[in-house]
Amino acid sequence: MEIKFRAWDTKNKCMLTMPIAGNFGLSRFFGFLSDDCEIMQFTGLKDKHGKDIYCGDICSMSKKIDMKIIVDYKDAGFGWSDKYNNLAFRGHGYLTKILKDIEVIGNKFDNPEILEEK
């Protein structure tokens, strides 16, 4: 699995990314970040359009079911929760099985309005 991270700068309200090549790149990325950053790890998975899925991403489950999930990491595994933070972790394997129905539609920092009730 490719190791990638991104970070949300809570102070400046922007997403930070940096190409990471080897351990030097990883330490350089983390050394660049301030305490005002929320770090998000790449899950190693891509949505139905081939877009990378990171922790903190908001995904739509399918066009038929209006369900939005937030990808998260817990107990050494990726899973998901709903907008109320009700954890429904089923693990990386479960996410892999439902990828054909998942589409990244934003993330909880750039697009919190997606999670608001209509």
Domains along the sequence of the chain with CATH: 5-115 (2.30.30.290)
Which residues have C-beta within 8 Å of that of residue 7, sequence separation ≥ 6?
A: 15, 16, 17, 33, 37, 38, 39, 40
Across the chain, the runs of DSSP E, i.e. the strands, are: 5-9, 14-17, 37-46, 52-54, 57-60, 68-74, 77-81, 103-107
Q: Are 90 and 52 in contact (CB under 8 A)?
A: no
Write the DSSP string, 12-29: TTEEEE----HHHHHHHH
Contact status, residue 43 vs residue 54, Cβ threshold 8 Å:
yes
Residue 64 has pLDDT above 90, yes or no: no
Give the mean model confidence (pLDDT) for residues 16-45.
Answer: 75
Average pLDDT over residues 46-65: 84
Per-residue confidence at 50, pLDDT binned at 50, 70, 90?
Answer: very high
Question: What does pLDDT average to over the chain?
Answer: 77
Residue with tokens 């950053």: 37
Per-residue pLDDT tens over the stretch 69-114? 888 877 667 777 766 666 565 555 666 666 677 889 999 999 888 8
